[in-house]
Structure 1
Amino acid sequence: MWIPDLEMFSGPRYIAIADALSLDIGRGTLTPGDRLPPQRELAWALKVNFGTVTRAYELAAERGLVRGEIGRGTFVRNNPPSRRTPWPKEDRETDRIDMRSDFPCNLARDPAFKKGFRQLPTHPDFSGMFQYQPGTARQDDLDAAATWTSRLGMPARPEEVIITNGALHAGFLALMAVTRPGDTVLTETLTSPAIRSIAAMLHLRLTPVVSDGCGIDPDDLAAKLEAGPAAALYLVPDFQNPTAAILPPDRRRRVADIIDRTGICLVEDDVFGGLSRDLDIPSPHTGPISALVPERSFYVTSFSKIIAPGLRIGYLVAPETLREKALTGLRISSWMASPPMAALVSGWIRDGNAERLLSLQAAELENRTRIAAAVLAAHRPGTHPRCPHVWLPLSRPTREQTVVEELSCRGIDVTPGEYFGVRPGSHPAGLRLCLGQIDDLGTLYHACRAIAETIPPVI
């Protein structure tokens, strides 16, 4: 009888059982046509409730892993997603494994989504949500926003928060407020292509600060500022994109000291902060740098990377001296964020669903990063538990495109390091592998095995 080992899986037990089933199908422990144990027997063996196993089997069926036959039982499907090997096929476009998009795991099945939308019409100001907001946002949404940023380690009053259409919009407003055409903006050696696009639109010069597996080097940051003026420092200190680096506490304090001493403005992109930090153990030393120098910082966070990409709501905590400029940018770019969407998120913050969904996301990602780290161990991947992406270093930059093409031929799409380089040809060689969009762990296991076979280990 199949009895899964649930020790390696985080999160609710019913999800762990479904994930273990997916992984064992991918490994070949379970094969098409295999009959799963009766639900009561498995519940007894695992010491869980009958309902837990029922929910697990239902989730596995939704994922396309199993089929139920009345009177006969539950069986592994003939072609479950976990058995789709990453090799060229006639239907390769539908069978491709996409590891390019840095999205969170799909939580849309959670009842909070339907419940949240059903409750919106009962809101006392439901009709007002569909009107222009005189102050760009409703007060109860600003209250909820301040509560959320404070939970992330960035204390703020409601009047200090600007609600935006996601984190990218917030970063755009921050750079609009603090720079002028021709200004220099410092950032990590590798950074989001979206920031390069914003810099190009605003006619800004991006200059990379030396970075390593722990983030930017404060000594090089100080040297860059001594060599010439810069208007802003754009950083992702937690789960840096694409390297997955987390800036250590001592570097955070040193960066804050440099900001305080030089007067440069920080734009801190904390879109992954809810995943990287334990919200139940707040600490100023591992929290946002912005909390150490709030008068010189724009703090950016959102829900698109930690709960669902369609939640286009971001929060921008702006310094008092630049807040009006940022608000002007909001008015000319979109006037306001969508009030109904802001109200949905605010409701989740108030009733606890935001933190619950965040915990579910963290558990899903812990399972994925554990598999990726184990299968790719010989390649020394840059990753952390709960991080939705993995950085896989390569020995030579010239290998990047070759490896990308080889993996593409095997049905796996990844992103090369050159995509993130601030300056062409000077970036560290590597690949970014995104874990959130792969629906089942068996497929992830197959993909990581194929990647490990394609790329020589790092020596």
Structure 2
Amino acid sequence: MAIWIPDLSNRDGPKYLRIVEAMAEDIATGCLPAGTRLPPHRELAYQLDVSPNTTSRAYAEAVKRALLKGEVGRGTFVRSTDAASGQAEPETLRRRESGPIDLSRNLPMPGLSEQHVRRVLSEIANETSLPSLLDYQTDADLVHHLAAGQTWLAHCGVSSELECIVPVVGGQHGIMSVLMALLQPGDLLLAEALTYTPILTMAARLDLQTGAVAMDDDGVVPEAFEAWCREANPKAFYLTPTLQAPTTVTLSKERRARIAEIAAQNGVILIEDDVFGPLKSNKPAPLAQIAPETTIYVASLSKAVAPGLRVGFLKAPTKLASALHQSVNLSVWMTPPLTLEVARRLIEDGTAGELTAQQQRIAKHRQNLVQSILGIEAVPNLSDGFHVWLPLPEGWRADVFSSECARLGVHVSEGRSFAMNASDAPEAIRLCVSHEANEERLKRGLEIAAGVLRQKPIGSSMKI
């Protein structure tokens, strides 16, 4: 077959998307059958008289849309389609055993909790308490679940009265419930300049203004937070002081104390997301312990115990607990009693702590793998979590690096994915080392990323 050269005439938009659209049409019409090997992106760039960066981005986008697949050492091929629907298999959160290697999703290792959850479910199924767990619950019914939440919070380093604990359906639901409870349309929500991606979406849905608090190598800068308080009127500040996503930084106790002081002086509520906290050894005291009357603490079992359990706990200042309860009631009425009961038993019999320790050991092992494969110069400092922050060498653009990795069958996350403001987006990549359960696939993915890192930057100075 002759080299495939797409027809880009009569198409609008960025050139790389024109290539993807032409590719999709040719696949749909059979002009590009499944298994067809596409030309190297540099060769296609030459044929189309565009930059190699353009074709690299086109191939990466086509991989994301499940039109193409990259095979290391062989090239890039048109993917097979589902015979019944004629559509390529969509990307999901499913952990694959073949195909693209996913280093973009920050999920804990699967499977560690399965035998324990099976045991607990079996126990519940054989007890007379099951019917009550399948019915609506009263506050009195929740007391033993709140006690388990109190134990989990203590494991995370936070003490709390039962009336200040609010069960939620995982950390993300907890954050959304806090925003719904405390902020009104038009209120200003601050977050770290690089932050948890759904925050901007949540803020947009609730019609909130947002502001980015500057960061340095040691995390969020207290003086930048103070400047926002002086020049604007923020209602809340969302931040992740421990194993910050994406940078992995853990704030020092001095910065935590200063941020707590600034928040108290200016009447700003701190929303402390500590879902990664259980993975960090020897972490400083949480903000919620330093400033319990100005901090709402978000804890979850998803990152440390079982990702699908979807159980978390909010610890609120006494004056705000009622509003958070009402917000949770509005969104889901109640956290499912059955999953809460599973979580309670895992917490109270010590299993949750054991599973967290296992995740910590795996995280440390896999962090060492990253450093051994990418090199100590690329990754000089290891964190205790499941993600790595990789500032790129001079000359590399993050979108180009990501595109080249995707072309070779590895998905990574660009720094811009986490930027509150596009102008703050660093030329950096986040690598996650836990989504891939098979260690050999993880190693291959890291080796591919390391190979790209050793290359001369591909068209980084060229316009798309």
Same fold (TM over 0.5): yes
Q: Deviations over 1:314-351 (max 9, x none)?
A: 10011111111111111110001111111001001111
| 2:162 is aligned with 1:171 | no
Query: Secondary structure at 2:190's aligned position in 1?
Result: strand
| 2:110 is aligned with 1:112 | no
CA distance in 2, matches of 1:333, 1:87: 50
| 2:321 is aligned with 1:323 | yes
AA matched with 1:117:
L
Gap change, CA 1:237 and 1:387, over 3 Å in 2: same
Gap change, CA 1:267 and 1:312, over 3 Å in 2: same
Q: Which runs of 5+ in 2 are unaligned?
A: 1-70, 81-88, 90-97, 457-464
Query: Secondary structure at 2:422's aligned position in 1?
Result: coil
CA distance in 2, matches of 1:226, 1:443: 50
Q: CA deviation at 1:440?
A: 3.0
Aligned to 2:347: 349
Query: Secondary structure at 1:455's aligned position in 2?
Result: helix
The 10-residue stretch of structure 1 (339-348 or 93-102) with the greater mean CA deviation from structure 2: 93-102
Q: CA deviation at 1:113?
A: 2.2
CA distance in 2, matches of 1:102, 1:406: 21
Aligned to 1:392: 390
CA distance in 1, matches of 2:225, 2:454: 34
Gap change, CA 1:222 and 1:123, over 3 Å in 2: farther
Q: Deviations over 1:354-395 (max 9, x none)?
A: 000111111111110111123223553386343111111125
Aligned to 1:441: 439
Aligned to 1:418: 416
Query: Secondary structure at 1:131's aligned position in 2?
Result: coil
CA distance in 2, matches of 1:423, 1:384: 27
Q: Deviations over 1:209-249 (max 9, x none)?
A: 11123210111111121111100010101111111111111
CA distance in 2, matches of 1:299, 1:201: 22
| 2:133 is aligned with 1:135 | no
Aligned to 2:261: 257
| 2:183 is aligned with 1:185 | no
Gap change, CA 1:109 and 1:247, over 3 Å in 2: closer
Q: Deviations over 1:404-448 (max 9, x none)?
A: 111011110111111111012322221111111122333322222
AA matched with 2:209:
R
Please point out which of 295, 299, 302 is paired with 1:301: 299
CA distance in 2, matches of 1:229, 1:154: 28
Gap change, CA 1:330 and 1:396, over 3 Å in 2: farther
CA distance in 2, matches of 1:301, 1:156: 13
Gap change, CA 1:362 and 1:132, over 3 Å in 2: same
Aligned to 2:399: 401
Q: CA deviation at 1:261?
A: 1.7
- Trace 1:373-392 onto structure 2 (pairs within 5 A): 373-377=371-375, 380-381=378-379, 384-392=382-390
- Trace 1:86-235 onto structure 2 (pairs within 5 A): 88=75, 94-108=98-112, 110-135=114-139, 138-235=142-239
AA matched with 1:138:
L
Query: Secondary structure at 2:207's aligned position in 1?
Result: coil
AA matched with 1:328:
Q
AA matched with 1:372:
V
Aligned to 2:448: 450
Query: Secondary structure at 2:107's aligned position in 1?
Result: coil
CA distance in 1, matches of 2:437, 2:313: 29
CA distance in 1, matches of 2:373, 2:106: 20
Q: Which runs of 5+ in 1 are unaligned?
A: 1-83
CA distance in 2, matches of 1:363, 1:140: 30
Q: CA deviation at 1:353?
A: 0.3
AA matched with 1:436:
S
Aligned to 1:358: 356
- Residues 187 and 208, structure 1, Cα contact 8 Å, conserved in 2: yes
Aligned to 2:309: 311
CA distance in 2, matches of 1:86, 1:348: 46
CA distance in 2, matches of 1:457, 1:329: 51
Query: Secondary structure at 1:247's aligned position in 2?
Result: coil
Please point out which of 335, 338, 349 is paired with 1:337: 335
AA matched with 1:182:
G
AA matched with 1:254:
R
The 10-residue stretch of structure 1 (157-166 or 377-386) with the greater mean CA deviation from structure 2: 377-386
Aligned to 1:53: none
- Residues 414 and 430, structure 2, Cα contact 8 Å, conserved in 1: yes
Q: CA deviation at 1:123?
A: 4.3
AA matched with 2:115:
P
Aligned to 1:291: 289
Aligned to 2:48: none
Query: Secondary structure at 2:363's aligned position in 1?
Result: helix
Gap change, CA 1:176 and 1:369, over 3 Å in 2: same
- Residues 189 and 208, structure 1, Cα contact 8 Å, conserved in 2: yes
Percent identity of paired positions between Structure 1 and Structure 2: 28
Q: TM-score, normalised by structure 2?
A: 0.75
Query: Secondary structure at 2:238's aligned position in 1?
Result: strand
- Residues 304 and 356, structure 2, Cα contact 8 Å, conserved in 1: yes
Q: How many residues align?
A: 369
Gap change, CA 1:255 and 1:109, over 3 Å in 2: closer
CA distance in 2, matches of 1:146, 1:229: 33
Q: CA deviation at 1:190?
A: 0.7
Query: Secondary structure at 1:346's aligned position in 2?
Result: helix
- Alpha-carbon RMSD across the aligned residues, in angstroms, is 2.3
CA distance in 2, matches of 1:387, 1:238: 10
Q: CA deviation at 1:115?
A: 0.8
Q: CA deviation at 1:95?
A: 2.1
- Residues 301 and 311, structure 2, Cα contact 8 Å, conserved in 1: yes
Aligned to 1:3: none
- Residues 248 and 383, structure 2, Cα contact 8 Å, conserved in 1: no
CA distance in 1, matches of 2:424, 2:116: 45
Aligned to 1:20: none
Q: CA deviation at 1:109?
A: 6.3
CA distance in 2, matches of 1:139, 1:149: 15
AA matched with 1:204:
L
CA distance in 2, matches of 1:309, 1:408: 26
Gap change, CA 1:105 and 1:354, over 3 Å in 2: same
The 10-residue stretch of structure 1 (120-129 or 348-357) with the greater mean CA deviation from structure 2: 120-129
CA distance in 1, matches of 2:394, 2:209: 27
Q: CA deviation at 1:119?
A: 1.3
